[in-house]
Amino acid sequence: MGNKKFDLLFSCLLKTFPFIVFTAIILIPIGITFLCISHKVNIKEQIIDYTDCKAFEFDSDGSLTCAEKNVPCVCFHNINITDSLEGDVTVYYELESFDQLRSDYVNSRDDNQLMGFPVPIPSENCEPYRFVHTTKEKISISPCGAIADAMFNDTYELRNTYSNIITPFHNFGILTENEKVGYHNPENWEDFKNFSKPKNWDKNIWELDTLNSENNGFQNELFIGWMKTEWKRKPYARIDKFQTHFENGLQAGEYELRVGYNYPSSRYSGRRKFIISANLTTTYTSLNVIGIISLVIGLILLVIASFAFIIHKRIKGNEGDNNGDVDVVNENLTGNHQPHIPEDNLYRP
């Protein structure tokens, strides 16, 4: 009885097999499409060109810009954010006309050094930023090369002029793990101290973030961002959303940007930009539910169709074997099957 029910059910399944496959093929892409359109990323940005901001000095009339003075210099720039920047807020800087794609510049680095191998003699690609020469000796530079030596070092602080609250910046957690591949510190931090800092740096590589060892040395995210020569915008910080008043991003209002104008105009005289970028992902629940249901039903139907196809193939194979056995039995019963007689016996009287 059970076999008859199974045969009947399986027979119905085979009859509806084309419909099941067709429905699955329709539902799966529909589900994927609805899931994709149910999430919308809204990007809002505020771009501030601070190149010509006025130098702040108590004994000055404020007529000179930091670009006209010797560094370090401090200047302030007022910002009016008319619409709240909601979501994940990241701060970037951009050097509009800084060319990081010249072949001689791009290749001026030692990848083995950046991966944490304490090679005593840096790559020849790093010339002329390979050694520091003293009266007694020459000391290898770490990190060596023109890219590292030219690292940008302006600093930023953003303060709400009404509440006087300083925006909490974090200089880590701004890169993905994939973006940090190829940058590792040596196993022994003391290996760093066998090298000199780059010629134009005011601190050593192991002093980039002394409060966070995971963001120090070659693994410093500001350093890695600068070394990415293909990036026009360089990440500077992210706003800490766990701080009060910043859970939803950056509120609309009047802000004051304090710039530590540290990078000499003699090394770069082009435009400097400070960029606040907010990414807000909106999920449309109804579209998301439709997408999930369509995708799940489509996958279930596809599994059922595959299961039915496999069972069908096995049954067909078994029927073929059984038919072959029946033919052999029939031959034996009808006498069509002749026994083998040796040729010698055919000529005996």
Pair 270, 288 in one domain:
no
pLDDT at 82 over 70: yes
pLDDT at residue 280, as a whole number: 63
Question: In terms of domains, do 10 and 145 share one?
Answer: no
Q: Which of 27-41, 116-130, 221-235, 322-336 has the lowest mean pLDDT?
A: 322-336
- Which of residues 144 and 281 earns the better pLDDT score? 144
**Which residue, 282, 312, 330, sits at the end of a domain?**
282
Confidence band of 346 (pLDDT split at 50, 70, 90): very low
Structural domain includes residue 329: no
Q: Is residue 325 part of a domain?
A: no
Provide the number of structural domains found in the chain: 2
Query: What is the Rg, in whole angstroms, of the alpha carbon atoms belonging to the chain?
Result: 36
Contacts of residue 178, Cβ cutoff 8 Å, sequence gap at least 6: none
Per-residue confidence (pLDDT) for residue 327, from 0 to 100: 52
Q: What is the pLDDT of residues 233-266, one digit of tens each?
A: 999 999 998 998 999 899 999 999 999 999 998 8
As a whole-number percent, the residues of the chain with pLDDT over 70 amount to 82
Helices (H), 207-284: 221-227
pTM of the model: 0.72
Alpha carbon distance, N-terminus to C-terminus of the chain: 62
Residue 84 lies in a domain: yes
169 and 216 fall within a common domain: yes
Name, in order, each residue with C-beta under 8 angstroms of 83's C-beta and a sequence gap of 6 or more.
Answer: 44, 252
Domain range for residue 114?
78-282
**Mean predicted confidence (pLDDT) in 140-151:** 95
pLDDT score of 273: 96
Q: How confident is the model at residue 321 (pLDDT cuts 50, 70, 90)?
A: low
| Cβ neighbours of 86 (radius 10 Å) | 17
Minimum mean pLDDT among 83-97, 105-119, 163-177, 278-292: which range? 278-292
Considering the domain architecture, whether residues 29 and 83 belong to the same structural domain is answered as no
pLDDT in tens, 41-80: 678 899 999 999 888 875 566 678 888 888 789 999 999 9
Instruction: Please give the mean pLDDT across all residues of the chain.
Output: 84
How many Cβ atoms are within 10 Å of 246's Cβ, its own excluded?
A: 16
The domain boundary, picked from 252, 282, 312, lies at 282
The answer to whether residues 285 and 95 touch, using CB atoms and an 8 Å cutoff, is no
Per-residue confidence (pLDDT) for residue 349, from 0 to 100: 47
